[in-house]
Structure 1
Amino acid sequence: MKKITLLFVLSSFLSFAQSNTDKIQSYLNENHQKFDLTKADVSDWVVESTSNSTASNVDIYYVLQRYQGIEIFRGLSNFAIKNGDVIYVGNRFVSHVSEKINTTTPLISMQTALNKAYIDAGITNHEPFLVLESGSNHKATLSNGIGIEEPVLANLVFQQTKQNLKLAWDFTFYTPKHDHGWSVRIDATNGQVLEKNDIVISCHFDKTNSCHESSFEKNTFDLNFHKKNNSILNTTNVLGGSYRVIPFNYESPSHSPFQLVTNPEDATASPKGWHDTNTLTGNVASFKYTITRGNNVWSRTDYSATNPTVGSTTITANGYSPDGGASLVFDFPYSGTSVAANNSVKAACTNLFYMNNISHDVWQHYGFDEASGNFQQTNYSNVSGASDFVYGDAQDGSTLSPTPSMNNANFSTPVDGQKPRMQMFLWSVAPQLKPLIVTSPSVIAGDYYAKQNSFSPGHVDLPLAPNFIQSDLVKYDDGTPDVGQTDNADGCGAAVNAAAINGHIAIIRRSTSAANGGAPCAFTEKVKNAQNAGAIAVIIVDNVDATYPIGMSGADATITIPAIAVTKAVGDLIFAKMALGTVNVKLQLPANYTPFVNSDGDFDNGIIAHEYGHGISTRLTGGKNNSSCLQNTDQAGEGWSDWFALMLQLKPGDVSTTPHGIGTFVYSEPVTGGGIRDYPYTTDMTVNPMTYNTTNSYQYMDTNGLEQTEIHGTGSVWTTVLWDLTWAYINKYGYNDNKYTGTGGNNKLMRIVLDGLKLQPCSPSFVDSRNAIIAADQAITGGVDYCMIWEVFARRGLGVNASAGDTNVGNDQVADFTTPPAGPNCTLGTTNFDQNSLFEVYPNPSNGIYNLRINNFVGKITTQVVDINGRIVLNTTEDFNIEKELNISSLQSGIYILKIMGEKINYATKIIKN
């Protein structure tokens, strides 16, 4: 989309746009000091994009700050205008710009800088970069040099650092497999990498904690889950289809049987149906498809991760899409998880196509429309930014050798008019079994989790109950100690104790990795060596701490004995008892065991909706022409996406306190499983106790020794808050199962949240996102639910005094559980906020002696002091009577988080020790 500046606007909108830009300039002239800006700071800017809210009649302008015509990267502020007045501002302008600029003249060329960006991204082989298009204001489009579809987008910008603004070349480009889409700033004076962000959001859905199962009953299928909009456009030659899929309000094959759904397209959002890319009046035959391709998405295979741009009719080839024929009937069988996933690839592409289209159609009604940058090949309203349907890559990377892409999903969201891509992978997480039964000694007797190997060939199943293999365990000894171990048990050489192993179950250690100085061998080699020594089965013990047993792959057709893996914790326990005496075990699969090969993320509607949600939140935050506004640490990106998934899963009869786990299908859990987040989503704080304080606990050190934030954990805190808010709305206004045009509480909040995404500033904190939702309610309803919203946010620690700290630091957030004074339309309740007594901590900063005061509180409290690395450096529990002294004079100077917990008390604040 071409940018609107103060001097040049599209002629058809001249008077309206000019009036609003004048309003913005007037507002900045009158209020710049409030934002610590000078008049010069607000005198050079450009409207990067616009959006609107039909529910609130608000127009939103995304304004990019410049200096001498050069844009300041992420210097993006948004202005909401209603009835000619600026009603809300998300300010991200940089103050005192002229004092921070290093230069306005680049010393290295655009192509030289791009080459340095490629080298940093690991791309060393490429053709010369050619300038395909050179626009005004220092922008250009270059060839990518690596033969993929997307060109390189380039721009000369100022990159913000802690103290200065450095002239930089800004590039956006994809790697050959599209596993990364790099947004990079290269210093235009010396070629150094100033910042690099990935616009491909990978959702590994790592499970860090075990969640308890819930007492949840499976819902029966509701034939009316597709509610039709009665406002149907008069279009010609619109043909609906039939699709055998998991209905969108059910998460997976574990939650519902497949159903043949007919004509699910929404007439308002997709007036030409799902397979036609013509304009409203067009009827060109070549613009119509009978495969899983249309105006909103093209779903196809990408087995070897080549990102095809041309389709194929060969089912084993990249770019294959199933054909529904002239009648568009996509009725294909699903073979389950006990056979290779490619047996169900037609069904996979169909379900992926269906769920992307559902996401497009539903969220169009709440504001993710053409004006706001939705994903369509053809825009029916003639706004710019078309040609950006979603590439839906099914079973992506599943045939890559030696390591297929597994246990992941991702979504890349470039700017409007550039095609996004959803890559869905297979999953190798087998159902958790306890086939290892320790019979003696009694102190460790019991059933233990273990995982069968996936050798192919060479896999041998354990016997099904009532059959079993049983013997005393014998530790394998190859005569050579492994690095880091005191025994010779890694099984990489012939056994020197073959006589002892013969006729017994051998237990072997996993080898130390080569990176750690070891000389590892394949799992198949270990098993074959044990087999040669006469072992009747093998147990492999992991050598690193892990929640689940490691997966063992390989190929050896001569292996004839079963082999399983156990965690290091289980193995260490067994080894310890073997050192004291004999350990006897029995190996046995349950009688109802079903083999497992893979689960396919293409059948997990929750994951698909989650990934699509990344596209929505990225396009709406900062406007459709900016994809760099959800890359800060303290932001809710993953949280928005989980919420998008949950909202489509709502059904009549659901209860707010029922725990809802995300991703139970791909993790081979029952539908009552806890899912892949730390806690399942529920309004019950005894089950999900997350508050804003919890966001401070998701820091970790990466392999380079740099502190990072686990974004899925942080995001799940935001989803928890929004899920509480969802049920507050449903409890007040009722639930409506018409996800498209209903008027229930769920529908009301869907509109408010999308408007909130449009209103929140670039690089938002949780606090910014909270404020934007409150502003959206104010704009739409006049603040009818002001108090209810505040009560929900305060309950989870996002009260009026909550502090985000630095939005690029992940562990300096401070929760607050207080609500503001009541608004004009409500009276704040008090029953849920007994914990919001007045807290005082003074003096702050201090030399280490603080007074803690909790008005009107007498009882037992726990006081914790947490350093910036998340370590608890003080932890006391004692009786409290209104006031006490806190002494941390022995600690080093710095910033700490003070936490106070007790009955109905959960408070945290930042303290500074001089």
Structure 2
Amino acid sequence: MAPLAKLATIALMIVSGAIAAPWDTTSRHMTHRVRSVGPQKAQFQSYHPPSTFETFGEGIDHPLTKRGVKDASSVDAAKAFLESKLGVSADSISHKSGSNSDVTEHEYFRQQLNGIPVANAVANVALKNNKVVSYGASFVKPKSIAPTTATLTKEQAIAKAEAATGGKYNQWPTAIEYFAKDSDHVVLSHVVQVQNAESGEWYEAFVDASTGEVVNLVSFVADASYRVVPFTSQSPDDGFATVTDPQDTTSSPNGWHQYGTTTTTATSGNNVISYKSSTTGTTSQSSATNNYNYVFNSAVSPATSPNVDAARVNAFYVANMIHDVTYRYGFDETSYNFQQNNNGKGLDDKTRIFFGGWTPIGRLGFLKLPVFS
């Protein structure tokens, strides 16, 4: 098992470093995500503008230092750096929050246009010893910007959000924000929170203040969580932990529980189906929004509940992690990896891994999971 732990360590290093450069703007899977919403599983596409992340080793001077300004605050220093680095004006940068420690300062910003924040255009700057050590940004340069006056009323926007999601407005104050679309146009939107008590869904909906279209949804509920042996551990003897949303959004842009228009609530998904005896013998979510909290009991047989469920969940997690890690190494759709749906990247669909606890007559990719002892 040691090689697996080493692979996980290397993979984490690679994943961390892979974003230290501009994203490939030709890849929609880095900027877009399809989400199934509400009782009718309506499909909505979220968009995040391409971002850049860069590190500077021990750090570089920010513009205020170069101008001879002493004792500048971390907010002012970070803002001056973004103005220079991104070529934007001071009034287009709005400070949102920050955190400081004895070692570093981290400042977070939003782009704003006409004095209105752009919801999905953000930036961050890290400073150490009054030097910039890293920054990230997804600011936009739109072709057009919508007027600052809304055509739809707040009440009309709430009705649109409720109809689209199947939820109800939760009385949280609405807001007006811009939203950058993938067409390089920025639209004015009403920001409305809606919740569905039955399904446990909770969204922040961005409703175009001119057309009524829901242009973006942000989920406030964890999409998935798994009680598992962490990927960097070797066996159940090392202990279990609950991991939340562990998927790599580059390798698995729609998460682990969606392929095409199908969303699952069991240990089956785009990359893997984890089961015992037959492919119908999967483990279902223990609670809504794909939470899998099954406690392993070493005092009872591996073939009894809850150990069977704990095993299927852990197998699902490990196989998906390996999929996402090896994807970063180049084992992707063009290299004939294992996926039920290739997200429009061609080659053969319907090749996900069958991860079985018992030995069936296998087709496609198949892994047999022995009993741990």
Does the alignment reach a TM-score above 0.5? no
Q: Between the two structures, name the one with larger relative contact order (CA 8 Å, sep ≥ 6).
A: 2
Larger radius of gyration: 1
Higher strand share: 2
TM-score, normalising length: structure 2: 0.41
